Amino acid sequence: MHNAARMGRYDITKALIESGADPKIINQRQKKPIHFVNHFFHKGNFEKYHAPHNVNLTLDHVRYLKETPKVRKLLNSAAQRKGANVLLLMSDDLGVKDIGSYGGVVQTPNIDRLASNGVRFTEFHAGAVVCSPSRATFLTGRQHLRTGVYTVIQDSVHSMHLLESEVTIAELLKEKSYQTVHLGKWHLGTPFKGIEKPSLNDHGFDYWFATDNNANPSHKDPVNFVRNGKKIGKIEGYACQIIADEAINWFDTEHQKDRPFFINLWFQEPHAPIAAPDEIVSKYGNVDDSAAIYSGTVENTDKAIGRILKKLDSMGELENTIIVYTSDHGSYRTERNGDLRGDKGSNFQGGLRTPGIIYWPKGIKGGRTFSNPAGSVDLLPTLCGLLHIAPPKDVHLDGANLAPLLTSKGKFHRKQSLFWHSPTGQPNVAIRNGDYTLLGYRKLEFKRDQKRINELVNEAKAFIEKDLGRAVSRKELFSMLYNSKFKNKEAEKIRGEFVRLNQFQESWIPEIKRGSGGFREFELYDLENDPNQTKNIVSEKPEIFKKLRQELFEINKSVLSDAPNWGAKEISKPQDSRQVSSVEIKKLLKKIDTNKLPEAYKPSSHQDYVDKRIATMHEKQRARLGQLWKEKQRVDPKMKNRGLSFIRILEWVAEGHALPEKGSSQSGRKQKY
């Protein structure tokens, strides 16, 4: 019942009265009637009984309320919290024309309901045109090169991963007492393949159930899910439904009703290799037809989403949950991107455009459609705006806060145009401002044995089509070669050589980072009048071309300057790590936990105290605070009082202590600044 502590007196009074609470309650001690509203507004009463640290909050009052199902549902739900829940849903390789609400052929009633009752963006864009980079931008609000992710990550050969120093949505919300969960595909680097990399815990997730890449051997009966670091083995069923099962089970067993939650749910469907139940596939064609199977995976995903929405509704959480639905980029099936030019892997609109749906009945008026250019890069700043959370300090965000647009409060302004950079693609870069998009081609040549690659593709195609008993398109074939693992040893050997010869080489990075010049060609398109990008108007619109080209150069230079060189060993380490062992950190955190709280600290003014204390700290101290707090959450995810634990670490750092040197017996020496 202490959820109401997080509300203002007006909000809680209004919510309870609207839900059927009787405003005339009885003071049991004095045996006389008192007015519920007047009691809450009487000076001192609200503060006395409804401070955040008072766990008996509203228990005295609940006994006096007229019991109705609506009152009970309200008091037992998260609707009384200031912080809304967050559920981010993303499909994999889904085109902008795949789902019903965007004119697609697949039956997706649950996603369509989110669109009709929420807001729908008609010009929503992925963070990148391939998987890993798009996901990095999605979680950080930053152009993916800044975050360390250049292209599709192959964990067995690449050092590349989402930098641990990047601030993710999960980390921001975790600091606000959110439970943080990741379910489904990850593909931002894991330590599962023998190369040391951060795990999902290190990026802010308390609980996770994930695959490092796609579900293998296909969406049906996958064998490669890992739960909180433990391999699960074969799970019968389809990946999207397995993830829905995990979400529902988490709500039943792990969810703490007094805390908001953030669930980052990334489906594997409809990425190849595809599989869906025959009874669904048969709606769209023969059960062995790849287009019909593809459609079946999309509908099956919609059914999984429907189960999750039903669970949220039964818990009383649906109305107070911000739900976003999108895709990581365009489809590899060209027809599923509509008439747009290009597909997955292309910086033309067919590779970039995705569905963009945002639903939150409590905070956003539904039934609206926006044509403003927007994208996944905007998610982190937008959530900060909707939840009234400060964005990461001293971090350049490439995205914009869409909250003024969504809530009709304030004026929406995008400081920086939408920008994409695909190092090995052509065109390499794209920028969009309003209705105009400019694309640029760089003079970069990366050596590959193309003759041998073509031979391997043909050999693999023969093996795969024989095994599947059907033809596969070139796009599906390449997707399977990159992301699957074949039972046939000869086919797997071919796949391994193909990946090795064709994959991104980290040795190319210095060439990629070498300035923002080298552009040999540009193309300018007016997307309002030419959405399919058929007519280059560079010569017709010279002023617009020059303006966009200048901004493209500036953003590109900034991005490449921030992008790490994976040949440098130190780039993946958190700032101020000082090579401290995990054992030493654990000892230090245990010691800090025994420290007394500062006399000036009061739980009722927690955030004010934190803000003032951090304002006095140097940059290195702030980095040290972030590192220790992240480690504390990793080693003690179920700490009893997160707020007080954070204050003790904050105070220890603010007093000038430094981390112990590696192998040192000192547990935190004071350091002068």
Single-letter code of the amino acid located at 260: P
User: Would you give the DSSP letter of residue 3?
Assistant: G
Q: What is the DSSP string of 202-228?
A: GGT-SEEEEESSS-SS-SBS----EET
Q: Which residues pair with 441 in a beta bridge?
A: 521
Question: Among the three residues 18, 49, 76, which one is the final residue of a domain in this structure?
Answer: 76
Question: Among the three residues 55, 76, 97, which one is the final residue of a domain in this structure?
Answer: 76
Say what the pLDDT of residue 537 is: 98
Rg (CA), the chain: 26
CA distance 198 to 571: 13
- State the helix-helix crossing angle for 582-592 and 619-635, rounded to 10 degrees: 90
CA distance 617 to 619: 7
568 pLDDT more than 60: no
**Four-CA torsion 456, 462, 467, 471, nearest 10 degrees:** 120
Task: Pick the closest to residue 280 from 337, 240, 234, 328 (CA basis).
Answer: 240
Q: Is residue 102 part of a domain?
A: yes
Which residues, at least 6 apart from 38, have a Cβ–Cβ distance to it below 8 Å? none
Q: Is residue 212 part of a domain?
A: yes
Shared domain check, 303 and 389 = yes
Mean pLDDT of the region 265-277: 96
Shared domain check, 479 and 359 = no
Mean pLDDT of the region 271-275: 93
CA distance 628 to 588: 9
- Other Cβ atoms closer than 10 A to 369: 10
CA distance 262 to 178: 6
Task: Pick the closest to residue 184 from 212, 144, 149, 165 (CA basis).
Answer: 212
Say what the pLDDT of residue 209 is: 98
Shared domain check, 463 and 340 = no
Looking at per-residue pLDDT, the higher value among 580 and 139 belongs to 139
Say what the pLDDT of residue 295 is: 98
Mean pLDDT of the region 173-201: 93
Say what the pLDDT of residue 607 is: 74
The label of the residue with tokens 């996603």 reads 111
Confidence of residue 470 (pLDDT cuts 50, 70, 90): confident
User: Would you give the DSSP letter of residue 168?
Assistant: P
39-90 residue pLDDT tens:
544 544 443 333 333 333 343 444 444 445 665 555 555 444 557 999 999 9
Burial class (CB in 10 A: 0-12, 13-18, 19+), 327: buried
635 pLDDT more than 90: no
Shared domain check, 409 and 353 = yes
Say what the pLDDT of residue 30 is: 53
7-38 residue pLDDT tens:
444 455 556 666 665 555 545 455 555 555 55
Mean pLDDT of the region 209-217: 93
Shared domain check, 37 and 168 = no
Q: Print the domain residue range for 189.
A: 85-416
Shared domain check, 267 and 140 = yes
Which helix H or strand E contains 309, and what residues bound it? helix 290-314
% of the chain at pLDDT higher than 70: 82
Question: Among the three residues 394, 416, 438, which one is the final residue of a domain in this structure?
Answer: 416
Shared domain check, 113 and 262 = yes
Mean pLDDT of the region 442-470: 84
Mean pLDDT, all residues of the chain: 84
Q: Is residue 527 part of a domain?
A: no
Which residues, at least 6 apart from 60, have a Cβ–Cβ distance to it below 8 Å? 49
Q: What is the CATH number of the domain that holds 363?
A: 3.40.720.10
Say what the pLDDT of residue 121 is: 98
Distance of CA 467 to the CA centre of its chain: 36
Let me know: does 114 contact 325? Beta carbons within 8 Å.
yes
1 pLDDT more than 70: no
Which tokens sit at 43? 């000076």
Looking at per-residue pLDDT, the higher value among 81 and 299 belongs to 299
Shared domain check, 315 and 293 = yes
Let me know: does 86 contact 383? Beta carbons within 8 Å.
yes
Q: How many domains does the chain have?
A: 4
Mean pLDDT of the region 472-481: 81
CA distance 553 to 53: 52
Confidence of residue 123 (pLDDT cuts 50, 70, 90): very high
Q: Is residue 662 part of a domain?
A: no
Q: Which residues pair with 164 in a beta bridge?
A: none
Mean pLDDT lowest among 155-169, 290-304, 484-498:
484-498
pTM: 0.73
Mean pLDDT of the region 391-404: 96
Which residues, at least 6 apart from 366, have a Cβ–Cβ distance to it below 8 Å? 116, 117, 118, 119, 359
Let me know: does 327 contact 97? Beta carbons within 8 Å.
no
Helix (H, G, I), strand (E, B) or coil at 376: helix
341 pLDDT more than 80: yes
Which tokens sit at 89? 């849903």
- Other Cβ atoms closer than 10 A to 130: 25
Shared domain check, 404 and 354 = yes
Say what the pLDDT of residue 671 is: 42
Let me know: does 396 contact 142? Beta carbons within 8 Å.
yes
Q: Is residue 428 part of a domain?
A: no
Shared domain check, 188 and 127 = yes
Which tokens sit at 312? 């949220």
- Peptide linkage before 217 cis (omega within 30 of 0): yes
Confidence of residue 482 (pLDDT cuts 50, 70, 90): confident
Main-chain dihedrals φ then ψ at residue 526, nearest 5 degrees: -95, 100
- Which 3-state string (H, E, C) describes 100-147? HHHCCCECCHHHHHHHHHCEEEEEEECCCCCHHHHHHHHHHCCCCCCC
Say what the pLDDT of residue 504 is: 87
Which tokens sit at 386? 């909707």
343-380 residue pLDDT tens:
999 999 999 999 999 999 999 999 999 999 999 999 99
Shared domain check, 458 and 379 = no
Which residues, at least 6 apart from 559, have a Cβ–Cβ distance to it below 8 Å? 143, 145, 146, 419, 421
Shared domain check, 53 and 93 = no
Q: Is residue 569 part of a domain?
A: no
Q: Is residue 290 part of a domain?
A: yes
138-165 residue pLDDT tens:
999 999 999 999 999 988 888 999 999 9
- State the helix-helix crossing angle for 489-502 and 450-468, rounded to 10 degrees: 150
Mean pLDDT lowest among 5-9, 26-30, 446-450, 592-596:
5-9
Burial class (CB in 10 A: 0-12, 13-18, 19+), 454: exposed
Q: Is residue 224 part of a domain?
A: yes
